[in-house]
Amino acid sequence: MAERVPVLIVGGGPVGLALAGDLGYRGVQSLLVEARGGTVFQPKMDMVGIRTMEFCRRWGIAGDVEAAGYNREYVQDCAWVTTLNGYEFGREAFPAPKDEKNPPQSPQHRERCPQNFFDPVLTRFAASTGKADIRYHTELVEFADHGSHVTATVRNRQDGTISVIEADFLVGADGGQSTVRERLGIEMSGEGALTYTSNAIFRCDGLEDLHATAPAYRYIFIGPEGTWATLVAINGRDQWRFSLIGDENQREVTEDEMRAAIVRAVGRQFDFEILSMLPWVRRQLVADSYRSGRVFLAGDAAHLTSPTGGFGMNTGILDAVNLSWKLAAALEGWGGEALLDSYEYEQRPVAIRNVTEAGDNLKRMLGPRVAKPQPEVFNDDSPETEAARRDYGDAYTEAMKREWHSIGIHLGYVYEGSPVIVPDGSPMPPLTVQTYEQNARPGSRAPHLWLAEDRSILDEFGREYVLLRFDGRVGISEFEASARSAGIPVRVLDVDNAEARELYGARLALVRPDGQVSWRGDDLPADTDALVRRVAGQVVPATV
Query: Three-state SS across 192-257?
Result: EEEEEEEEEEEECCCHHHHCCCCCCCEEEEEECCEEEEEEEECCCCCEEEEEEECCCCCCCCCHHH
Q: Does residue 206 fall inside a structural domain?
A: no
Give the span between the Cα atoms of 184 and 206, in whole angstroms: 49
Residue 439's closest CA among 530, 503, 390?
503
Give the span between the Cα atoms of 95 and 216, in whole angstroms: 10
Q: Does residue 540 fall inside a structural domain?
A: no
Residue 236's closest CA among 47, 447, 432, 29?
47
Give the span between the Cα atoms of 15 and 52, in whole angstroms: 11
Q: Does residue 236 fall inside a structural domain?
A: no
Q: Are 22 and 327 in contact (CB under 8 A)?
A: no
**Mean per-residue pLDDT, 77-84:** 95
Q: Does residue 392 fall inside a structural domain?
A: no
**Mean per-residue pLDDT, 341-366:** 94
Q: Does residue 100 fall inside a structural domain?
A: no
Three-state DSSP class for 190? Answer: strand
Q: Is the pLDDT of residue 209 over 80?
A: yes
Are 430 and 503 within one domain? yes
Give the span between the Cα atoms of 427 and 464, in whole angstroms: 27
Distances in whole angstroms, Cα of residue 142 to Cα of each of 165, 179, 185, 357 = 10, 9, 13, 35
Are 349 and 418 within one domain? no
Q: Which amino acid is at 31?
A: L
Helices (H) and strands (E) in the chain, counts: 14, 24
Supply the pLDDT for residue 194. 84
Tens digits of residue pLDDT in 33-50 = 999 998 888 888 899 999
Q: Which pLDDT band, with edges at 50, 70 and 90, does 369 fall under?
A: low
Distances in whole angstroms, Cα of residue 434 to Cα of each of 62, 100, 393 = 24, 17, 20
Q: Does residue 274 fall inside a structural domain?
A: no
Q: Is the pLDDT of residue 456 over 60?
A: yes
Are 13 and 151 within one domain? yes
Residue 60's closest CA among 115, 8, 117, 108?
108
What is the full DSSP assignment across 34-98?
A: ESS-S--SS-S--EE-HHHHHHHHHHT-HHHHHTSSS-TTS---EEEES-TTS-EEEEE----GG
Q: Does residue 336 fall inside a structural domain?
A: yes
Q: Are 52 and 191 in contact (CB under 8 A)?
A: no
Q: Is the pLDDT of residue 53 over 50?
A: yes
Q: How many CB atoms lie within 10 A of CB 232?
A: 21
Three-state DSSP class for 143? Answer: strand
Are 328 and 466 within one domain? no
CA end-to-end span of the chain, whole Å? 47
Residue 395's closest CA among 374, 411, 409?
374
Give backbone dihedrals phi and psi of 280, rounded to 5 degrees, phi first: -155, 165
Are 435 and 354 within one domain? no
Are 313 and 446 within one domain? no
Are 418 and 353 within one domain? no
Q: Are 338 and 330 in contact (CB under 8 A)?
A: no
H/E run at residue 9 = strand 3-10
Question: Radius of gyration (Cα) for the chain, nearest Å?
Answer: 25
Give the span between the Cα atoms of 12 and 503, in whole angstroms: 39
Are 47 and 132 within one domain? yes
Supply the pLDDT for residue 73. 95
Supply the pLDDT for residue 540. 53
Supply the pLDDT for residue 376. 63
Three-state DSSP class for 297? Answer: strand
Q: Are 250 and 69 in contact (CB under 8 A)?
A: no
DSSP code for 422: -
Q: How many CB atoms lie within 10 A of CB 494?
A: 13
User: Among 283-292, 419-428, 513-522, 534-543, where is mean pLDDT lowest?
Assistant: 534-543
Q: Estimate the share of the chain in helix, then strand, then coil, as percent rounded to the nearest 5.
A: 35, 25, 40
Are 516 and 419 within one domain? yes
Pairing mode of beta strands 30-34, 162-172: unpaired
Give the mean pLDDT of the chain: 94
Q: Which amino acid is at 213?
A: T
Q: How many CB atoms lie within 10 A of CB 438?
A: 18
Q: Does residue 19 fall inside a structural domain?
A: yes
Give the span between the Cα atoms of 301 and 409, in whole angstroms: 20
**Mean per-residue pLDDT, 44-63:** 96
Are 23 and 114 within one domain? yes
Residue 4's closest CA among 223, 114, 168?
168
Are 314 and 449 within one domain? no
Long-range contacts of 231-236 (CB under 8 A, 24+ apart): 231/84, 231/265, 232/46, 233/74, 234/43, 234/46, 234/114, 234/116, 234/201, 235/69, 235/70, 235/71, 235/114, 235/117, 236/70, 236/71, 236/72, 236/73, 236/74, 236/112
**Mean per-residue pLDDT, 89-106:** 95
What is the model's pTM? 0.95
- Which residue range(s) make up the domain with 154? 3-69+109-186+290-360
- CATH number of the domain at 38, please: 3.50.50.60
Q: Which pLDDT band, with edges at 50, 70 and 90, does 263 fall under?
A: very high
Q: Is the pLDDT of residue 63 over 60?
A: yes
Are 309 and 447 within one domain? no
- CATH number of the domain at 482, please: 3.40.30.120
Distances in whole angstroms, Cα of residue 54 to Cα of each of 46, 48, 446, 465 = 17, 10, 12, 17
The count of structural domains within the chain is 2
Supply the pLDDT for residue 216. 96
Q: Are 106 and 54 in contact (CB under 8 A)?
A: yes
Give the span between the Cα atoms of 155 and 133, in whole angstroms: 15
